[in-house]
Structure 1
Amino acid sequence: MSEAATMSALVPQPAHVPDALVYDFDMYHEPAMERDAPARLLEIAREAPPVFWTPHNGGHWVVKSYPAIMKAARDWENFSSEHIPREEAEALLANLPAGTVIVQPVPILLDPPDHTRFRLPLQPVFSPKAMMKLQAHIRELAIELVEGVKQQGHCEFVSAIGERIPTQVFLEIFGLPLERQDDFRKLVEEHLSDDFGTLDNSQRKLRRMADIMHDTLVERRENPRDDLISVLWQSTVDGRPLTLEDMQNYCVLLFIAGLDTVMNGMGHGVRHLAMHPELQAQLRANPRLIVEANEELLRRYGFVAVIRRAARDFECEGAQLKRGERVSLSYPMANLDPAEFADPGRFDLGRENKVHLTFGGGPHRCVGSHLARIELQTLYEEMLARLPAFRLDPDRPVRYRCGPVTGPREIHLLWDN
C-alpha cells in the first residue's frame, strides 16, 4: 500500500489559497509522522512556508514559524480559541432539547476576557510553590517504577513508566480513584486519536469523560477533601459559585492535559537519551546539567499543536485567511525554525537560546508547565542515577502517535545488568 493511500482524503484547494502556500501534511494519518515524527516535523520546518495550507483533514492552515506563532498566540481577536463562534453556539444550544448541556473544555476553548476569568482559579493551584510541594512524592514514584524494571534488563518505557508517573500524580492531585487509571488513559487516547469531525462526535467523547467523573464531582461538593476538585468547588468566577456544569468543563480539560501531554515529553526525552550514550554519561557525571538538558529536549521535541479558528478575514505572513477557517499553531515546528535556532535539529546542551514554545504562549500558555518540568527533570534524574546505560531495542523500532499531541507509542529499552 502506498503512503498516499493511507492518508486522509483531500479537499479542493480554495480560490484564495495560492499554489505556493499549499504543503502536503496530514496531522492525523501521515505515515512519515508515524515512523519518525521528530524527523518529519524538522523537515516541514525547513521546507514549508511560514504559514501554509494543507488539503488534508478537511483543509486547514498551519502556522509554523517562530515569530508568526509568537504573534498568533497573543492575537486572540484573529486566532480565536472558540472553535464555534459564540453566536452560532448560542443558536445551536437554543435549538437543542431543554436541559441539554454542552461540554466544553474550559478555559482553553475561551477567548479573553472569559478565558481570564475562568483561568484565575487555576493559577494558585498550579503555581511553582504549590507544585514544588509535590516533588518528593514524584521522586518516590519515579524511584519505585525505575527500580521495578531495573533487574529485567529491559522495559517498554511508555507503559511501564512514562504513562504511570503523570497519570498517578494527576489522579492524586485531582482526587480520582487510582485503581481506574487504565480506564482513564484509554478515554484520553480515544479522545486524541482522530479529528473531532462533527459536533456530535466531539460531544460524545467529551461527555464520556464528564460522565466518568460525575460521581466524584458530586461527592466532593458535599464532602470536600484535600484535592483539586474540592479546591475548585470552593472557587468563584466573577463572585459566583461554580456550578456542576462549570466543574465538568474544567475537569475534562484538566483530565486530557494531565493524563496525556507530559507522557509524550517523557517519551521524546527518554528516546533521545537512549540514542545518545555520551549524553547519558555527561549527565550522570554532572546531574546539575539535567535542568539545562530538559529545556533543550523540550525545545527539540515539542509535542503539542493547538487549533484556532480565524475569527475574521485577515492576513498572516502573506496568507489570506478567511473567517471560519481552521488554523493549527504548530509549537513543535516553531521550536525547529532555522531562522530562530541555529541547526535546530541538533540537540545542543550549550545552546544559548532555549526559549522554546513547547508550553505555548500568550494567555493560553500551559498552566501546568511547572508540574511538567518537575516530573520530567525528576524522571531523568532517577533513570540516570539508577539504570546502567540504556539503549533502544534495534528489533523494535519506535512508532509515533499523530494528531494535535505527538509522541512515541512504545519505546523498547535495553540495558546490561
Structure 2
Amino acid sequence: MRGIHPVAKPDHVPDAAVCDFDMFKDRDLLRDPHERVRDLLRRAPNGVIWTPHNGGHWAAIGHAAVFTVSRDPETFSSSPADAAGMARFAALEEKIGRHIPQQIPITLDPPAHGKYRGPLQATFSPKSAVGKREEIRALADSLIDAVKDQGHCDFLTSIAEPLPVQVFLKMMGLPLDRQAHFRHLVHEFLAPRGSAPEEQVRRQCMVADAMLDVIKEREHDPKDDIISLLWRTQIDGKPMTLEVMQDYCTLLFVAGLDTVINGIGFGIRHLAQDHSLQEQLRANPAMIPEAAEELLRRYTFTIPMRRVAKDVELAGYPLKKDEWIAIYLPGADLDPKEFPQPEKFDVQRENKVHIAFGAGPHRCLGAHLARVELQVLYTQVLAKLPTFRLDPDKPVKFHAGNIIAIDSLPIRWD
C-alpha cells in the first residue's frame, strides 16, 4: 500500500475524513510523536481518518475504532491479498523460482492463524518469560555497569537495544556477533518503500536469507532454541517445510529485534524528565510493574495494518474492499474518551487496561517477555544509576512508520 507521492482522494471518501498525515515522514510526528497523535485525535472526533500518503489509506485513531478493527478479522483481514491476489503471488513465486517469505502467523486470519500461532504459545508463555528473569537481570547489570562511570550514554544504543536483542537472538539460536547487521536489516525492512513488485520481493526475502544458514543447519543439528523447536512442529499433521520455517522466522526476526527496544526507550525518556517519579520508584520498587503498565499506555508505539476484506462502514465512513487501514494503537491509548487526562502519567490511574500489545486474535505473542524485560530493566537502572536526565545538548531522535521508534536517547547523570 505504500507509494512515494500522495494520491487523489477517491470519490467515496468524505472531505471530512481527509487528513494530511504521512505515518512515515510527518514532521510533527518525528518531532514529538505522541503529541502529534493527540493532535490527530482532536482533528478526528470520530476516531478515523483517510490520508493520501503511502498509496492512500485509512487509519483508525480512536479507541473504539481501533478496538473494532482489531477484533473483526472477517472484515479487516491480516492477509495481504484476497484469493485472487494470493494466486498472483503464487504465480510470481513460480516465475522467479523461489519462495517469497510471509510473516506468519500475523499475515493469516482465523482459523489458520490459530494453527500456526499455537506452536509458539509455550515458548512465549508467562512461565517461560519469568524463567528468563535472572538472565535478563544479569545482562541488564552488565550493560549498565559498562557505562555507569561515564556519567552519560546514548541509552538506546548502549542499553535499550542490546538487552532485548541479545535475549531474542539467544532464544532464536542466532549468532550474537551479527547483532548490528540484523538490526540494520530490520530498519531497512520497516523503512518506507515504493510499490514496485521487485522491491516488495527484495524486502520479503532479505530477512529470511540472512538466517537461512542457521535455519538449514538446525534441521539436522537441533539445539535448545526456537528454530529447532519449529523444525519439530507439525501443522495439520504435516512435517515442517523450509518455506514455512522462513515464514515463521521472518516474523519473529522483525518483531523480536525492534518492538521492545522502543518500549524501553520511551519509558526511560519519560523517567529522565520526571525526577520525582524516579525517586518514588527507587523508594518503592514494588510500584515498578504498575508504572511499567502506565508507561506502555502513555507511550504505545505499534501500528499494525489491515486490508478491508469487504465494503463496510466504520465511524460513519464508507470503507471499500481492498483498501488498507492502519490500526493506530498509540491513538487508542491516548483517547480521552477512554482515559481521562490521557496525556498525564498516573501510576495510580484506575484504568490502565491499555492495548499497547494489540487486541483480538493477533494480540502480541511476546507480551509476557516484554513485560519482564521492561520491569527488570527499570528496576536495575533505578537501582544502579543516580538521578538521570535528558542530555540538554543532544536531542532525542525519532523515526516512524509501523513502529513509532526512538533512534537516539542521550541521557546524563553526572
Alignment of 1:13-412 (within 5 A): 13-48=9-44, 49-94=46-91, 96-97=94-95, 99-195=97-193, 197-412=195-410
SS at match of 2:304: strand
User: Structure 2 counterpart of 1:87, which letter?
Assistant: A
- How far apart are the structure 2 equivalents of 1:142 and 1:409? 20
1:4 alignment counterpart: none
- C-alpha displacement at 1:8, in angstroms? 6.0
Q: Deviations over 1:11-51 (max 9, x none)?
A: 11111111111122110111111111121112212322411
- Stretch deviating more after TM superposition (40-49 or 101-110): 40-49
- How far apart are the structure 1 equivalents of 2:89 and 2:233? 29
Residue pair 1:8, 1:26 contacting (<8 A) in 2 also = no
SS at match of 1:97: helix
Aligned residues: 410
Residue pair 2:13, 2:317 contacting (<8 A) in 1 also = yes
- How far apart are the structure 2 equivalents of 1:35 and 1:28? 12
1:3 alignment counterpart: none
**Structure 1 residues 340 and 301, CA gap change in structure 2 (3 angstroms):** same
- C-alpha displacement at 1:362, in angstroms? 0.5
SS at match of 2:207: helix
Identical aligned residues as a percent: 49
Give RMSD over aligned pairs.
Answer: 1.3
- Stretch deviating more after TM superposition (95-104 or 332-341): 95-104
Under a length normalisation based on structure 1, what TM-score does the superposition of the two structures give?
Answer: 0.96
- How far apart are the structure 2 equivalents of 1:51 and 1:21? 7
User: Structure 2 counterpart of 1:316, which letter?
Assistant: L
Under a length normalisation based on structure 2, what TM-score does the superposition of the two structures give?
Answer: 0.97
Q: Which runs of 5+ in 2 are unaligned?
A: none
- How far apart are the structure 2 equivalents of 1:41 and 1:156? 25
Alignment of 1:1-20 (within 5 A): 9-20=5-16
- C-alpha displacement at 1:196, in angstroms? 5.8
Residue pair 1:79, 1:308 contacting (<8 A) in 2 also = yes
- Stretch deviating more after TM superposition (46-55 or 223-232): 46-55
- C-alpha displacement at 1:409, in angstroms? 0.9
- How far apart are the structure 1 equivalents of 2:186 and 2:111? 28
- How far apart are the structure 1 equivalents of 2:304 and 2:89? 24
- C-alpha displacement at 1:97, in angstroms? 2.2
Residue pair 1:121, 1:232 contacting (<8 A) in 2 also = yes
Q: Deviations over 1:205-227 (max 9, x none)?
A: 22111111111011111011111
User: Structure 2 counterpart of 1:10, which letter?
Assistant: P
- How far apart are the structure 1 equivalents of 2:351 and 2:194? 36
Q: Deviations over 1:69-115 (max 9, x none)?
A: 11211101110101121322113323532743121010011111111
Residue pair 1:310, 1:325 contacting (<8 A) in 2 also = yes
Q: Deviations over 1:167-219 (max 9, x none)?
A: 10000000001111110000001111214633332221221111111110111
User: Structure 1 counterpart of 2:51, which letter?
Assistant: T
Q: Deviations over 1:333-389 (max 9, x none)?
A: 000111000011111111010111110010000000001001111110000000000
Q: Deviations over 1:213-272 (max 9, x none)?
A: 111011111011111111111111111111000000000000000000000111100000
- How far apart are the structure 1 equivalents of 2:239 and 2:41? 45
SS at match of 1:52: strand
